[in-house]
């Protein structure tokens, strides 16, 4: 899903629009207005078997080219300026966001943001930072990629056996991630453990897990450098698959944890996974009760003045290997190219 193969029709159209100057002309005729939020996860080149390669959003070079374009053509805003856009006092703005709290955000994204004088919002999964936990999607990728077998044997979760698609086994990984997202949260540890046993894989050692997440010192340094932070739960469950009391704990505890480390309040949250079935109206209520002002989903779109739901603001996912022409055209003409 992230690996670019032959260019599709949309990409070819984007290249033509971009190269011919039509992008600028069309955008001048029909400029978008509202809040356009871009979402990144990891920055860098995927190589480790410890990682779900699907969560890489851009190499550092791709990210730098994207920021160069955005800083030239758009106003990249901070959270405090969202109010003005959603109430119609400001025409539009682009907000940059990162989910999960990976260390490459500090090592590779932060220096580029500083270079361009831009700010971004980083949504942290606090339990990952506190405990160095392996994220469930990275664990499933590790299990599949390091298995000595060539097939997932028949089992109670996937049903029939699944042959690995060598060499990267991406299709098998996507399949397991899809199943994981649908399970009640309480079933997910058994799912991952049984897969490890079936596939004859041990969890990585704590040494191998050492540098995956940001430290709180890094978070504070970035905060002092103008970066903003938000909540993304403690353990990254699909909130809709959790009882309400546990959802509340995930939301409240992560907020308190980040505020304690930063010494200042936070106002934004992004829903883990963030699809329409990943959170509910109750989840949105819990956010409001907890003092959050903005909730971000992972569904594409523009947040429109006067009509956007502040607790379910859309975001465009940026994917590794996106050609520059495609990025420029998609951000300039989201009404045509919004995924």
Q: Which is nearer to Zn ion, 18 or 99 (CB)?
A: 99
Residue 139 contacts Zn ion per CB under 5 A: no
Quickly list H helices, 132-239.
136-146, 170-182, 188-198, 216-224
Supply the minimum distance, in Å, between the C-beta of residue 237 and Zn ion. Answer: 10
CB nearer to Zn ion: pick between 296 and 337: 296
Number of residues that bind Zn ion (CB under 5 A): 3
* Residue 138 engages Zn ion in binding (rule: CB under 5 A): no
11 makes contact with Zn ion (CB under 5 A): no
| Residue among 98 and 164 whose Cβ is closer to Zn ion | 98
Residues 258-277 close enough to bind Zn ion by CB under 5 A: 272
x/- letters, 279..298, toward Zn ion (CB under 5 A): --------------------
Q: In this complex, which beta carbon is closest to Zn ion, that of residue 272 or of residue 303?
A: 272
Span near Zn ion by CB under 5 A; candidates 65-73, 98-106, 147-155, 201-209: 98-106
* Residue 18 binds Zn ion (CB under 5 A): no
Please give the C-alpha separations between residue 44 and each of 15, 119, 217, 262, in angstroms, as whole numbers. 24, 19, 21, 26
Give the Å distances, CA to CA, from 289 to 70, 126, 277: 35, 20, 21
Site for Zn ion contains 170 (CB under 5 A): no
52 belongs to the binding site for Zn ion (CB under 5 A): no
Q: Residue from 99, 138, 250, 284 that binds Zn ion (CB under 5 A)? A: 99
* Residue with smaller CB distance to Zn ion, 101 or 334: 101
The angle subtended at Cα 192 by Cα 186 and Cα 195, nearest 5°, is: 140
d(CA 289, CA 258): 17
Let me know the angle formed at the C-alpha of 133 by 42 and 159, rounded to the nearest 5 degrees.
85
Q: Which residue(s) pair with 92 in the sheet?
A: 34
Q: With contact defined as beta carbons under 8 Å apart, do 336 and 29 qualify?
A: no
Q: How far is the CB of 165 from Zn ion (least distance, A)?
A: 25
Q: How near is the Cβ of 39 to Zn ion at its closest, in Å?
A: 9
CB of 100 to Zn ion, least distance (A): 4
Q: How far is CA 105 from CA 53, 70, 154, 194, in A?
A: 15, 18, 38, 32
* 240 φψ region: left (φ > 0), alpha (ψ -120 to 50), beta (else): alpha
- Report, in Å, the least distance between residue 133 CB and Zn ion: 13
- 234 CB-side CA count, 13 A: 14
Question: Can you read off the two tokens belonging to residue 278?
Answer: 């990943």
CB of 298 to Zn ion, least distance (A): 8
- State the binding string over 189-218 for Zn ion (x if CB under 5 A, else -): ------------------------------
**Distance, CA of 304 to CA of 92 (rounded, Å):** 9
**Three-state DSSP state, 276:** coil
In this chain, which stretch among 63-71, 95-103, 151-159, 246-254 interacts with Zn ion, using CB under 5 A? Answer: 95-103
Q: Yes or no: say if 57 and 41 are a contact pair by the CB < 8 Å rule.
A: yes
Which CB, 272 or 334, lies closer to Zn ion? Answer: 272
Q: Is 250 in the site for Zn ion (CB under 5 A)?
A: no
Residue from 100, 228, 261, 284 binding Zn ion (CB under 5 A)? 100
Place of tokens 């990728």: 141
Interface ranges with Zn ion (CB under 5 A): 99-100, 272
């Amino acid at each position: 899903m992230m690996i670019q193969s032959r260019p599709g029709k949309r990409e070819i159209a984007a290249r033509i629009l971009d190269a011919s100057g039509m992008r600028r002309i069309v955008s001048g005729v029909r400029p978008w207005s509202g809040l356009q939020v871009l979402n990144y996860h990891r920055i860098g080149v995927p190589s480790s078997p410890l990682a779900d390669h699907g969560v890489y959003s851009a190499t550092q070079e791709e990210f730098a080219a994207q920021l160069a374009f955005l800083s030239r053509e758009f106003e990249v805003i901070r959270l405090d300026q969202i109010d003005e856009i959603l109430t119609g006092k400001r025409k539009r703005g682009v907000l940059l966001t990162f989910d999960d709290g990976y260390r490459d955000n500090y090592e590779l994204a932060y220096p580029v943001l500083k270079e361009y004088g831009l700010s971004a919002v980083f949504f942290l999964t606090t339990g990952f930072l506190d405990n160095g936990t392996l994220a469930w999607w990275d664990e499933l990728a590790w299990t599949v990629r390091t298995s000595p077998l060539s097939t997932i044997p028949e089992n109670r979760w996937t049903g029939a056996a699944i042959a690995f698609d060598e060499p990267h086994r991406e299709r098998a990984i996507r399949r397991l991630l899809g199943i994981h997202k649908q399970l009640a949260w309480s079933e997910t540890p058994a799912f991952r453990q049984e897969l490890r046993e079936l596939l004859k894989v041990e969890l990585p050692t704590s040494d191998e897990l050492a540098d995956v997440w940001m430290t709180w010192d890094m978070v504070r340094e970035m905060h002092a450098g103008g970066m903003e932070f938000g909540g993304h739960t403690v353990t990254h469950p699909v909130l809709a698959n959790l009882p309400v009391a546990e959802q509340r704990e995930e939301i409240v505890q992560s907020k308190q944890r980040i505020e304690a480390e930063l010494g200042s309040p936070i106002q934004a949250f992004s829903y883990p996974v963030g699809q329409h079935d990943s959170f509910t109206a109750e989840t949105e209520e819990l956010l409001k009760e907890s003092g959050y002002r903005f909730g971000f989903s992972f569904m594409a779109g523009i947040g429109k003045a006067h009509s956007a739901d502040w607790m379910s603001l859309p975001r465009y996912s940026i994917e590794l290997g996106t050609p520059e022409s495609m990025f420029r055209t998609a951000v300039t003409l989201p009404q045509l190219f919004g995924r």
